[in-house]
Structure formats: C-alpha cells, structure tokens
Amino acid sequence: MSENSTALAEWESTVSNQHLLQLMDGLGELIMVLRLDGTCAWCNRAFSQLLDKPLDELVGKVYPLPQLRDLMVAEPPQVVESWIETPTGGVRLVRFSAVSGLDNEGCVESLLVTGQDMTPFYRVQHPLDVATEYELPAAAAPHTVARIEHALQRAQRAEEYVVFLSILISGAPQSLNESSYITGLERIANELRQKIRQGDTLARLDSGAYLLVLEQIDCPEAIATVVDKLSATLCESQPADMPALAVNIGVSISPDDGHESLELVDRAQQAMQRAVMTDTQVCYF
C-alpha cells in the first residue's frame, strides 16, 4: 500500500510538473532553468526564440547567454540588466532575475531564471536627438499651436486632411558605438529635412519625440502613401550595422481622429507608444 501511494505521488508530481512546463512555455516572459553547473535544464519558447535556437540545442549548453553567469554569483536579490545582441541582428534590453530551486532536503539544486524585455520602455524614456540646422520649436509653443490651428481651419474649408505624425527615434546607449550613432542620426536628419514641404510643420514634443504635421492631403489613399514613403525612407537611412537604432511612428488624422490640435497630437503620441510597445514601424490611432 505504501509503495502504491509513493508511486501515485511520484506520478502526480510528474504530471503536475509537465503541466507547469506547458504553461510556462506559452508565456511571453523569458524563462530558463539552470543547473548549478550552469547548464540549461529547460527553457520556454520565448527564450528559444530570443536565441534563435531550438530547445534541444539549448538543453545541456553551459550558459546559453554570458549574462546568465552573473546571476550565479549575484547576491540576492539576483537581478541583472543587460543589452543582448540577438542572432537575428537585433538588440534587446533584458532584465533577468533568478530564484533558487530547492530539493526535498532544502538544498539548492537549480536556478529559475526569468527575463523581461525592457527595450520598449527604454526606447520611450530615452529618445535620441536628431541634429538639425536650426533649433526646432516646441510643439506646445504658442507660435507652433497657432500654425497648426491655422492648418486645421484651412483644411476644413478645403475639405482636406491634416496628418499628425509622432516620430520617436531611439536606440541602445550611444557609448556602445558612438560614431555609428552620429552617422545614423545625421542620415535620418537629412531625410527628414528633404521630406518636409514648405507648408509642413516640424516641432519637438515634450516627450522627446518629433511632431510632423502634413497639410494639403486630399484623399485617404494619399495619407497611406505619404506615411509609408516616409517610414520606408527613415528605415532605409539607418546604418545596417546599427540595428539598435529604431524609428517608430504614430499617426492621427484630422478630421477622422479629432478636430482639435491638442487632441490630435495626443492621439498621435498614443499611436507612437503603441508602435514602440508592439515593435511596429507605423501605428495608426
């Protein structure tokens, strides 16, 4: 009877562990189990996708990421934040944390590592400044607001559209490759200057993003064409060896998304933040 009870308990534990692994495998958060010798015992699909390797290639590998070694020697709370160069050419800021796994006797036998992708939050909080020949006006400055209000009134009379673009340019810390950042930002600045027409408005938002207001657009099809061309141009201007440099654009349209300038600017920024959080180049409100 005792042997049967023990066998049943072991079976239930195995089934429970398998169910738990299935649940963790479906999470977007990075999860990995490390043995005390640093080898990978298991990781979920998100971790496998980050490293661009199947699970069977990661199991048994010593420290699949060098940053994981720091977790083994870190004092509680075990937290390590680091930029990770992915095999696909991207760069992600990941915050790793770890908790010890204990056996039945209370001894440490493994380390449960979880990782959170902090890249979108970093991009929103650390916009990069694109050098221009003159200092850009603030989007909230009276002159800028008056100019935008005038554009909206003129568009209403002409039954045209006014497009608001919130453009965020961001990247990893410039210290990683300062010369490449300068080159990349200069390219983006040149492209922005070339794409701005005489009647358009370019200003700087309090968030650090750029506000570009496009006037005299007479049909919805033209909106998509203009936005797509600008997005493609800015994307192509990024240096191939600087994948961390990113451009995200949020779009709001008058009169579809509102009639007041402050409302339209705010909605363009909301769309831009959604583009950053979802790793999307362009997002419409």
Q: Which domains does the chain have, with CATH numbers?
A: 2-117 (3.30.450.20), 124-284 (3.30.70.270)
> Is the pLDDT higher at 97 or at 186?
97
Closest CA to 204 of 136, 134, 123: 136
Question: Rounded to whole angstroms, how far apart are CA atoms 109 and 56?
Answer: 21
Mean pLDDT score across all residues of the chain: 81
Instruction: Report whether pLDDT(77) > 90.
Output: no
CA 90-91-97 angle, to 5 degrees, is 130
Q: How many CA atoms are closer than 13 Å to the CA of 157, on its beta-carbon side?
A: 5
Whether the CB-CB separation of 185 and 128 falls below 8 Å is answered with: yes
The model's pTM: 0.78
**SS3 assignment for 7-33:** HHHHHHHHHHHHHHHHHHHCCCCEEEE
> Quick one: pLDDT at residue 7?
46
Instruction: Report whether pLDDT(96) > 70.
Output: yes
> Quick one: pLDDT at residue 174?
53
Instruction: Report whether pLDDT(134) > 50.
Output: yes
Instruction: Report whether pLDDT(12) > 60.
Output: no
Q: Hey, what are 215's tokens?
A: 């006037």
> Quick one: pLDDT at residue 284?
92
> Quick one: pLDDT at residue 6?
52
Confidence of residue 15 (pLDDT cuts 50, 70, 90): very low
Confidence of residue 247 (pLDDT cuts 50, 70, 90): confident
> Is the pLDDT higher at 170 or at 145?
145
Whether the CB-CB separation of 110 and 41 falls below 8 Å is answered with: yes
For the stretch 166-221, pLDDT in tens is: 999 887 765 455 566 666 667 777 777 776 777 788 888 998 898 999 998 888 88
